[in-house]
Amino acid sequence: MMIKENKVLRLAVTGVTGRMGKSIIQRIIQTQAHQVDNKFILGAAIARDRSDICGIDAGTFVQSSKVGVFITDNIELVKGDFDVLIDFTAPESTMNYVNFCVMNNKNMVIGTTGLSKSYLSVIERASSKIGIVYSANFSVGITIMLKLLNSVSKISRYFVNIDIVESHHNKKKDIPSGTALLIRNVVEYNQFSDCVCNEDLVSNGEKKYGKLDNDIKIHSIRAGDIVGEHSVLCTSIGERLEIKHQAFNRIIFVDGALRSAVWLGCAKIGLFDLNNVLKINM
């Protein structure tokens, strides 16, 4: 289904009591109030089952002006009120929303982390029918960092150790973070992609290239209200190369998700990430 260029995109936000869900609603309402020509508006606000905030105006809930969108725990009741769903919840909830969106031809922006390989496969299959922007991190800085690592990790084999250090607030459930796992995948792929397989490193029927996977270690810290910090340390005797990204405000993830929703719209079908949205070429 094609969407007219001048149509205002109606967004549904799940997990409205969560840090990201609440922040996204606040940002949407703020944008609605201060821009004459809005690209998007809040269409639906969805809470967990039997939440005691159901029926409350979403604007009132985030301590803003009323917007006439009432929080619900039943997505079926509001399926005609939105075009794209933004989901930063939990793996099981995300799968339910993916299935709903496939059945109802709704596009999605997914920022849920801690997804298993089987859940990622569900998302990949769903993207043959709907448009999905999925990323473990929606910041511009992390997207650029991954681009840099594409080049740096090809020469990182000359260092003795490679470590990833990630820090987040003490309420974050998944350890290590999805971003840290994404960084490790990029480093491992580029570091070993042009190596000759060493048959002596066959483990559990899987051929290993160069160093074993567990040589790239992830160190996780959960403390206070840290928004997000990720560092890649390449160390050798007498020297260290470090690439680091720090997030000081959750708004960078919110803006990345909203930008992705506008870019995705109603017409695109397929699986995309923030690099597709930003079109960063390096």
- The catalytic residue positions are 168, 172
φ, ψ of residue 21 to 5 degrees: the values are: -60, -45
Q: Pairing mode, if any, of strands 107-110 and 84-87?
A: parallel
CA-angle at 45, arms to 40 and 46, nearest 5°: 140
Residue 179's DSSP bridge partners are none
The CA–CA distances, whole Å, from 229 to 10, 99, 142, 225 equal: 32, 32, 10, 11
User: Sign of the C-alpha dihedral, residues 118, 122, 127, 132?
Assistant: negative
Find the distance separating the first CA and the last CA of the chain, reported in whole Å: 33
Tokens of 208: 């290993």
Which ranges in the chain belong to alpha helices (H)? Answer: 19-34, 58-61, 91-104, 117-126, 140-152, 178-192, 251-264, 274-278
Distance, CA of 159 to CA of 162 (rounded, Å): 7
